[in-house]
Structure 1
Amino acid sequence: MTPTPRQVWLPAQFTRLDGLPAGLRYARWDGSSPFPSDPAEVEFYVPPLVQDIATIGSPLPRMTRLKAVQALSSGTDELRAELQRLPGHVTLCNARGVHARSTAELALALILASLRGLPEFGRAQDLGLWKPQVFQSLYERSVLLVGYGAVGSALEDLLGPFDCTVTRVARVDRDSPRGQVHAVSRLPSLVATADVVVLATPLTPATRHLFDADLLARMKDGALLVNLSRGAVVDTTALLREAHDGRLLAALDVTEPDPLPAGHPLWAAPGVLITPHVGAFTPSLWRGLEELIRRQLTRYAAGEELDNVVSR
């Protein structure tokens, strides 16, 4: 009897994904339509491109043969929590590095827009007002990168022409090709001298509300906080107090909650620039994700170790 091919679920959004290894049976799901096959037969799951973790996790309790999940995001905190409720061992992989350049590009855009007052000029344009003002510059400023992985490194590349003083922070002290990376335990002293603080750290129990009222209060007057990681890395209530006092600026691609509901006080907070969690999304992202999926499935079909393993 011919064995039944191992089942793989792919996101329906990748309509042109080809060159996949033989010996696997593929089905595509968009997250809203009925399941394309019996979830109990699925061994390898690439969730659909949606932000709702309830949608991504809905088939998981029925995936009794599941062996691997390939997330299409760098952050996997919510998905990891879903998988921990399942019996057995499932390998979870992220998309580390695929989003780095696009996310770093948005980080630079948010920094420049906030420092040079582009939101203010945009509001003046909407009112038809010619309203010259002098704002800050990025040149020769001190930038603190909190989370020095692929995104942090890519952003440092982009900061080069601005002659910034860059300080790097990660979980523990280590060296990098560009110099020292400081442990996160040193943040209380490091934030006090930074003009711009960029958050690109994963959300973990240790980083949830890492930037709380105390750490935000230690930032220098007029400093800019840029969050590209997860909204919960920052205590929103504390940030709102600092923004309303006019002491800190903020540029947020992620918020808590995410998405940010209408009427939330962050929308109207002075000095706060918000983009709707779009850091990674440029046309080049799709090509990178397709290459990742193809490479991972080729390794899986051959029985090889997967890349970007987050947890088992």
Structure 2
Amino acid sequence: MAPADPRTPANDVWLPIPADEIGGLPDGFDYVHWDAGPEFPADPARCAFYVVPYMKDPQVCIRPLTEMTGLRAVQSLTAGVEHLLPALHQLPPGARLCNARGLHDASTAELALTLTLASLRGIPDFVRGQDEGRWLAGFRPALADKTVVIVGYGSIGSAIEDRLTPFECARVARIARTARETVRGPVLPLAELPAVLPAADVVIITTPLTDATRGLVGSDFLARMKDGALLVNVARGAVVNTEALLTELESGRLRAALDVTDPEPLPAGHPLWHAPGVLVTPHVGGPSSAFLPRAKRLVRDQLTRFASGDPLSNVVATAG
């Protein structure tokens, strides 16, 4: 391919979804389809707006950035951007990194509720019983009348509470980095977490992975949870200290339902696979039928803003 003319402003938009499948995109750009294949479909230097491929190797996704000398915006299709932040220094000054806040709310909240209900009601045991032809009758915990703590009350945490509302929980406590008020009640700061945990029957983790939250759910956190409580993690695996969690699981004191793990993917033979009281799903909070229409809507909206010169949504960092 011919090298980009340095006198010509970059005008390509790299998309992991073909432009004709998105529809309604603004005119004036050259749309290029790249979903992390081995060959670049065009000169990266001509790229002005890069939509990062979804669920691909992070190292592959950041590979073109060093050559995207005309880049002005990077749009992730994930809420977390920890896999992109190390590459921020490679972007041209002023280039904006945007996350996908809101894109995965419905799907991830749905899975969080699924994991909570499945674990409380013993669905994994019933599936194993069905496989073995055993009838496992008996009483199981309900979500009704339970106290639930949501740690990380952004758009996904709020969407989880939306779905908890019909289940007659005794209380929902909301924890975030800073305190604020919502229409449903107060959001408490992280400093209040030690006082809230002992009353929790279910603790749902939805916080982003940052330096401040890495290992947040460690020995002290888990020790404050009451006997028999359930930990649900739909955030990032490294928010939870795996060894500390295994200690509690193997003692039988706590239970866990994990859509994310550390390490991830969870290797064969890892003790988490067979720890008592644990349900593991393979990071499927986002990838569902809800993803594609919402991804298309996000990309369409952001590119419309970009074309008109309006501020982009969900800017989390700017290259400097």
> Is 1:126 aligned to residue 131 of structure 2?
yes
Q: CA deviation at 1:293?
A: 0.3
Secondary structure of 1:82's match? helix
Alpha-carbon separation, structure 1, partners of 2:12 and 2:18: 18
Structure 1 equivalent of residue 202 of structure 2: 196
Q: CA deviation at 1:155?
A: 1.2
> Is 1:159 aligned to residue 160 of structure 2?
no
Alpha-carbon separation, structure 1, partners of 2:46 and 2:267: 37
Q: CA deviation at 1:86?
A: 4.1
Say which of 60, 63, 67 aligns to 1:58.
Answer: 63
Q: CA deviation at 1:5?
A: 6.2
Q: CA deviation at 1:12?
A: 3.9
Alpha-carbon separation, structure 2, partners of 1:303 and 1:216: 47
Secondary structure of 1:77's match? coil
- Contact 2:19–2:25 (Cα < 8 Å) also in 1: no
Say which of 258, 266, 276 aligns to 2:264.
Answer: 258
Secondary structure of 1:107's match? helix
Q: Deviations over 1:166-191 (max 9, x none)?
A: 00001011111111110011111111
Secondary structure of 1:81's match? helix
- Contact 1:147–1:199 (Cα < 8 Å) also in 2: yes
- Contact 1:208–1:234 (Cα < 8 Å) also in 2: yes
> Is 1:271 aligned to residue 277 of structure 2?
yes
Structure 1: segments with no counterpart, 5+ residues: none
Q: CA deviation at 1:257?
A: 1.8
Structure 2 equivalent of residue 244 of structure 1: 250
- Of residues 15-24 and 105-114 in structure 1, the stretch that sits farther from structure 2 once superposed is 15-24
Secondary structure of 2:26's match? coil
Structure 2 equivalent of residue 233 of structure 1: 239
- Contact 2:96–2:317 (Cα < 8 Å) also in 1: yes
> Is 1:283 aligned to residue 289 of structure 2?
yes
Alpha-carbon separation, structure 2, partners of 1:265 and 1:82: 33
Structure 2 equivalent of residue 309 of structure 1: 315
Alpha-carbon separation, structure 1, partners of 2:241 and 2:19: 36
> Is 1:68 aligned to residue 65 of structure 2?
no
Say which of 179, 182, 185 aligns to 1:176.
Answer: 182
Identity of matched residues, %: 53
Secondary structure of 1:197's match? strand
Secondary structure of 2:118's match? helix
Say which of 17, 25, 46 aligns to 1:20.
Answer: 25
Alpha-carbon separation, structure 1, partners of 2:111 and 2:20: 27
Alpha-carbon separation, structure 2, partners of 1:238 and 1:143: 21
Structure 2 equivalent of residue 98 of structure 1: 103
**Which amino acid in the other structure matches residue 106 of structure 1?**
L
> Is 1:36 aligned to residue 67 of structure 2?
no
Secondary structure of 2:213's match? coil
Say which of 8, 24, 35 aligns to 2:13.
Answer: 8
- Contact 2:153–2:174 (Cα < 8 Å) also in 1: yes
**Which amino acid in the other structure matches residue 117 of structure 1?**
G
Query: Normalized against structure 2, the TM-score is what?
Result: 0.93
Alpha-carbon separation, structure 2, partners of 1:180 and 1:122: 39
Alpha-carbon separation, structure 1, partners of 2:88 and 2:205: 26
Count of equivalent residues: 312
Q: Deviations over 1:16-35 (max 9, x none)?
A: 11221111111111212311
Alpha-carbon separation, structure 2, partners of 1:16 and 1:4: 26
Alpha-carbon separation, structure 2, partners of 1:75 and 1:293: 17
Q: Please identify runs of 4+ aligned residues in structure 1 that moved more than 6 A.
A: none
Structure 2: segments with no counterpart, 5+ residues: 1-6
Alpha-carbon separation, structure 2, partners of 1:292 and 1:25: 19
